[in-house]
Structure 1
Amino acid sequence: MLEKILAEHAGFERIIRSKKPFKKLDFTANNLDLVNRNLTETTDFADYVFKEMLADNTAIGIGGYGEDRIIYRQRKHFSQDLENPRSIHLGTDIWAAAGEPIYAPLDGIVHSFAFNDHYGDYGPTIILQHELAGITFFTLYGHLSLASLTGLHKGKTFKAGQPLATIGPYPENGDWPQHLHFQVIKDMGHYIGDFPGVSSTQDLAHYLALCPDPNLILRIVENETPITSDES
């Protein structure tokens, strides 16, 4: 039901308004250049993403929904359960420079927020609650700047297109190369300021049912420019 409502809705605002084109990034084992890389150090990881994959930051990286990522093997946050390690990404990542503004894609209120301050975690995180056609759902924004949490409170309203946050620098963003993790969630359950963004194979069907494709809202096409040069 939610997927149909999102697909048919015509009023989503752009989450990011850079003039750079989008480029799809691959963090799976299919990326042979990545397989033998040691990206444990975030500075090396960031250089790989922005200097090599994004050609000296001339594009914005996009992708990751349902992607089985080998990069998580070097992050203990995702392999604490050795029998059921998590590696499959449940959101879409937008790889852009720290400080890049993020905008609310539709009207919403703050459900919760937190500074998930662990290596490999979300860092500063905001979760909005929305309603469309009588259906309540949530959007999660991870790896933000700490300043993005200033002045927030539960129930604070954001209108579609209103500035919401900025992409955070490492290490405050969970110690990742700078990017936004954007995720759609049908039911938050007991989670406050947090929600799993990566699943194990064993739990994948459950989480994919809870977390529809974020591109139903983003509607991003590779090589598309987020905003044209004559727009403000």
Structure 2
Amino acid sequence: MKSLETLFLDLKDIKVIDSSIPYSQYTPLDLSPSNTDLDQLNVSNAFELQEYINQILISNNAKAAYGGYNEVRNLYKRSTVFNDLTTEERNIHIGMDLWIEDGTSVLAALDGKVHSFQNNNNLGDYGPTIILEHQLEDYVFYTLYGHLTIESIKSIKKGDFFAKGQQLAMLGNSEVNGNYAPHLHFQIIKDIDGKSGDYPGVCSKSKLSYYLENCPDPNLLLNII
């Protein structure tokens, strides 16, 4: 039997934000410590980070920036959600981020139903979040959409069906999205481990191998690069 990751490679034309923007107008964004441009920024400040991202978009003639899978980031140090001093620091991002202006439409990656949703309203958290459940051949798996508007989770209920490419939500601003520059956190999850409306999007070094196996690279679906 084919693996889930192999089945993903057979899927085509998948978008999770504004379908009118071709992938040729996306540009990569590096938020790891190896990007020395970030040494001049307070990356935990949503407005400073947004200004930096805007410059990246302008200089690359792009409409959206993407990246972050299996990327170490320092911006999580500001929040006890990731760094409570009593457990191992979580600083490795295990979804893909798509950076674009707030109010952008968020689309269902594939046919699926609403598994759960909630407002994860801690500093540095997802803010409003929706998780869809999908089935592909014999596999049941999930996609998570984080950093949405409050309105996005007011008009849905568990079990609602969304078709591939159908508008699911809209992107929130820094006031509701965990205090980040506007972006979509998109993540694939094989085993949701009984969680509802939330699932870790950042992990510690010691648990990285588990999360990379349980949360495959979203680019296998999106095929941006």
Q: TM-score, normalised by structure 2?
A: 0.91
Residues 184 and 81 from structure 1, CA distance in 2 versus in 1: closer, same or farther, beyond 3 angstroms? farther
Which residue in the other structure is 2:210 paired with? 206
Which residue in the other structure is 1:228 paired with? none
Structure 1 gap ranges (5+): 222-232
Which residue in the other structure is 1:96 paired with? 100
Q: Please give the per-residue CA displacement for 1:154-196, whole angstroms capped at 9, x wherever unaligned.
A: 1110111211111111110111100000000001112100000
Q: How many pairs does the alignment contain?
A: 219
Match 1:54 to one of 48, 52, 57 = 57
Match 2:9 to one of 7, 10, 15 = 7
SS across alignment from 2:72:
coil
Once the two structures are TM-superposed, the CA of residue 3 in structure 1 deviates from its matched residue by 0.9
Contact 1:127 1:193 in 2 (8 A): yes
Contact 2:41 2:49 in 1 (8 A): no
| Farther-moved stretch of structure 1 (143-152 vs 181-190) | 143-152
Match 2:114 to one of 105, 110, 113 = 110
CA distance in 2, matches of 1:54, 1:105: 24
CA distance in 2, matches of 1:18, 1:168: 19
Structure 2 gap ranges (5+): none
Which residue in the other structure is 2:45 paired with? 41
Q: TM-score, normalised by structure 1?
A: 0.89
Q: Please give the per-residue CA displacement for 1:84-110, whole angstroms capped at 9, x wherever unaligned.
A: 101111000000000111111210000
Q: Percent of pairs identical after alignment? A: 41
Match 1:168 to one of 143, 147, 172 = 172
Once the two structures are TM-superposed, the CA of residue 55 in structure 1 deviates from its matched residue by 2.2
Residues 174 and 113 from structure 1, CA distance in 2 versus in 1: closer, same or farther, beyond 3 angstroms? same
CA distance in 2, matches of 1:43, 1:209: 34
Q: Please give the per-residue CA displacement for 1:176-222, whole angstroms capped at 9, x wherever unaligned.
A: 1000000000011121000000011011011111100101111113x
Once the two structures are TM-superposed, the CA of residue 81 in structure 1 deviates from its matched residue by 4.1
Residues 135 and 40 from structure 1, CA distance in 2 versus in 1: closer, same or farther, beyond 3 angstroms? closer
| 2:193 equivalent to 1:197 | no
Question: What amino acid sits opposite 2:215 in the alignment?
Answer: C
Which residue in the other structure is 1:25 paired with? 29
Which residue in the other structure is 2:75 paired with? 71
Residues 3 and 81 from structure 1, CA distance in 2 versus in 1: closer, same or farther, beyond 3 angstroms? farther
Once the two structures are TM-superposed, the CA of residue 74 in structure 1 deviates from its matched residue by 3.1
Question: What amino acid sits opposite 2:14 in the alignment?
Answer: E
Cα RMSD (Å):
1.7
Which residue in the other structure is 2:139 paired with? 135
| Farther-moved stretch of structure 1 (65-74 vs 140-149) | 65-74
Match 1:178 to one of 176, 182, 192 = 182
